[in-house]
Structure 1
């Protein structure tokens, strides 16, 4: 049986706005992030979203779990947290400027955040991180066959799932941004076959929808 996933990135935090690397730092939603979660809640209650959700899961980091609580309260389901759904652990690099780290990958001898096997003190290699994410979703699919599961997590998690679904190498560039509270759909069949669905749904983030809740 197929397990169907709706994988959603958390709402914005101040560190997102400042382009700082968050990793496992437990950074709360800012006001924009709270508004994004509320708009998402509205969208999930309209006729445009016709799916029955059986289970809600979230990373145990507050920016994801708070987005989940706001966006899915109307389902009347508990938000189950799982540390396996956390963002990549960046260890001593957390708090660093994201753009400068991206550019350092092009500098010989500098730290390369996209190299799959570059170690990070107190953190995870990119390869180990992706394996954690794949294992976590495989486990959810095995435990919840035939369920419709809504998962709230992080940009790196969505990137890892997209690469697994499409066979894209870890070091290859990704040709799109992952927006806060974007919705991404996929399925896992019989606990092993990964099947892509609609990706990067952001219609609910149009500015008029956000303005209505300000």
Structure 2
């Protein structure tokens, strides 16, 4: 059965990532560290260690992902398809706030629980709606690029949803491993929209010192 293979990559770091501020759909650019990470990723994708012939390059239309794609994948010679369906989750009125403030609000029972699949987010997306959007976006890509190798640049929340779908895990299962900036995550989707995980969390292209700072 013909499979569409995905290499799903998180964008490089932004200053808001470093400051632990909630970005969502806000269009925050790469930081200098994020640009360096994208360059390191590009070096890896050009190297003999990455032997895959890339047929398609797609990206979230938010600049932190699209710029990562431009820096890291332009050498493949494919146009980068900007895909709004691959955007991060919209956090509505909570976008721009720092995580410590949000966690304190939740502890005081004043805030929303972003991990509750049914929790409504004012001006944003409930987790179950975000899940449906991401699954539909990848299954549409799988149908349009059946049997091809797709390099996709997106966001941490998107990668979390893909991990759950490919692992057959529910939205309320705790994920212990971090999703690092410019990490590479592999999965495939067949003609019946069955997802299969191949590899996850690859970061061999990043300098050890950078990983020490993140983990």
Q: TM-score range by the shorter chain?
A: over 0.9
- RMSD of aligned alpha carbons: 1.6
Q: Which residue of 1 aligns with 2:132?
A: 131
What is the CA deviation profile of residues 150-183 of structure 1, one whole-angstrom value per residue up to 9, with x for unaligned ones? 0000000000000111122212211110000000
Q: Which residue of 2 aligns with 1:7?
A: 8
What is the CA deviation profile of residues 3-23 of structure 1, one whole-angstrom value per residue up to 9, with x for unaligned ones? 000000000001001000000
The number of residue pairs the alignment matches comes to 210
Q: Which residue of 2 aligns with 1:76?
A: 77
Q: Which residue of 2 aligns with 1:49?
A: 50
Instruction: Give the distance between the partners of 1:99 and 1:163, measured in 2 at CA.
Output: 25
Equivalence map 1:34-183=2 (5 Å) = 34-102=35-103, 104-108=105-109, 110-183=111-184
Indicate conservation of the 8 Å contact 2:4/2:190, yes or no.
Answer: yes
Q: Is the alpha carbon distance of 1:114 and 1:209 closer, same or farther for their aligned partners in structure 2, counting shifts above 3 Å?
A: closer
Gaps in structure 2 of 5+ consecutive residues: none
TM-score, normalized by length of structure 1? 0.93
Q: What SS class does the counterpart of residue 178 from structure 2 fall into?
A: coil
How far the C-alpha of 1:191 sits from its partner, in A, is 4.3
Gaps in structure 1 of 5+ consecutive residues: none
Q: Is the alpha carbon distance of 1:102 and 1:141 closer, same or farther for their aligned partners in structure 2, counting shifts above 3 Å?
A: farther
Q: Is the alpha carbon distance of 1:18 and 1:124 closer, same or farther for their aligned partners in structure 2, counting shifts above 3 Å?
A: same
